[in-house]
Structure 1
């Protein structure tokens, strides 16, 4: 597969709305810019794990083992279900949001980082995407390992830049007040979206 095609495919995968998008939106609107950025960084860091097991061939073994694959799939379903229920239940909460503040006590950095990391890591669709792509760039004599690593780093940077940009956009002065005015409905929609992704992931064979 040509590198330009791989680059475009990676871009389309990243920008297509999914659970990561919803989580970054929810954290940005509710907890401010810093929370959105750290959630985005968590999503990006999870790509390191996908790169590692794809290059080691573990993703192939998991995809061929129904028990292991289902364990990963249902773990992802459970986490998205938890985030969805939490988003709906706490939709009316009104935490302080200071978009431009740098106060370290304002955002639970590790919590946002972990949410983004787990949301992406526990998505078997991401695992299978990396498996299918890496099968195109890794050759039997391992000469393609360098190219595969570069592509993985490209995907990691792409995730980080895209979701950080979204966090900045969602907390911009032009959108912030409008989004905050509809925060409860937005939280409910985000929660419902996460529950939908959880259900689709659970029933997909």
Structure 2
């Protein structure tokens, strides 16, 4: 089958994904945090982690589990509270962080490994119930049930790449040396603000209703 047969659907998915990815949320704050305090590479690896997490949502959406999760109070609550707890935990660590900003590399201490950066981005997105609801809306209202799985996988690839590209741009912006110099002058205040915002997002996630 020709992918052009599904062009209207593909365009709709792409437009919705674009609006979703640029909407400020927990992913944006996480990327900003890691880019400012741990440097450009950490921000980029975290962006990759978010892109990889998208495939978790794609997998259960294609399998038809998104509707089950959204309708199950227990499953939805587990995802919601785990995601909230993780954001609050990272927010607390940021709020109480210690270290010195460096123009080139961000925080010298504590360092963050590529694997840990990927993990933070992955967990933040994978346990975000708002993302679950987003995929539920796409795969139940936009994507036709008769759409072949291989086409749905292309949709997933588009959404994943959109996240990686956008959050890589965000990381490049917030880790720019000229900005790091400015951040260095107000480091402790920025830590407090970013930590508070993450905790706030954690609380907001915990209060999300199905």
TM-score between both structures, scaled by the size of structure 2: 0.87
1:131 Cα deviation after fit? 1.2
**C-alpha distance in structure 2 between counterparts of 1:137 and 1:15, whole Å:** 20
1:108 Cα deviation after fit? 1.0
**C-alpha distance in structure 2 between counterparts of 1:98 and 1:48, whole Å:** 34
1:138 Cα deviation after fit? 3.9
1:127 pairs, out of 128, 132, 135, with 132
2:170 pairs, out of 160, 166, 172, with 166
1:187 Cα deviation after fit? 1.5
**C-alpha distance in structure 2 between counterparts of 1:203 and 1:81, whole Å:** 13
Tell me which stretches of 4 or more aligned residues in structure 1 moved more than 6 Å. Answer: none
Q: Per-residue CA shift, 1:54-87, capped at 9, x if unaligned? A: 1011121111111111111111111111111111
Question: Could you tell me whether the CA contact under 8 Å between 2:101 and 2:180 is conserved in 1?
Answer: no
Aligned length: 199
Identify the residue that residue 151 of structure 2 maps to in structure 1: 147
Q: Per-residue CA shift, 1:85-129, capped at 9, x if unaligned? A: 111111xx124646369xxxx641111110110000000110110
Question: Could you tell me whether the CA contact under 8 Å between 1:32 and 1:98 is conserved in 2?
Answer: no
Question: Could you tell me whether the CA contact under 8 Å between 2:55 and 2:160 is conserved in 1?
Answer: yes
- Unpaired runs of 5+ residues, structure 1, are none
TM-score between both structures, scaled by the size of structure 1: 0.89
Q: Please show how residues 15-26 of structure 1 align to structure 2 within 5 Å.
A: 15-26=22-33
2:172 counterpart of 1:178? no
- Structural RMSD (CA): 2.1
- Unpaired runs of 5+ residues, structure 2, are 1-7
1:137 Cα deviation after fit? 4.5
Question: Could you tell me whether the CA contact under 8 Å between 2:58 and 2:153 is conserved in 1?
Answer: yes
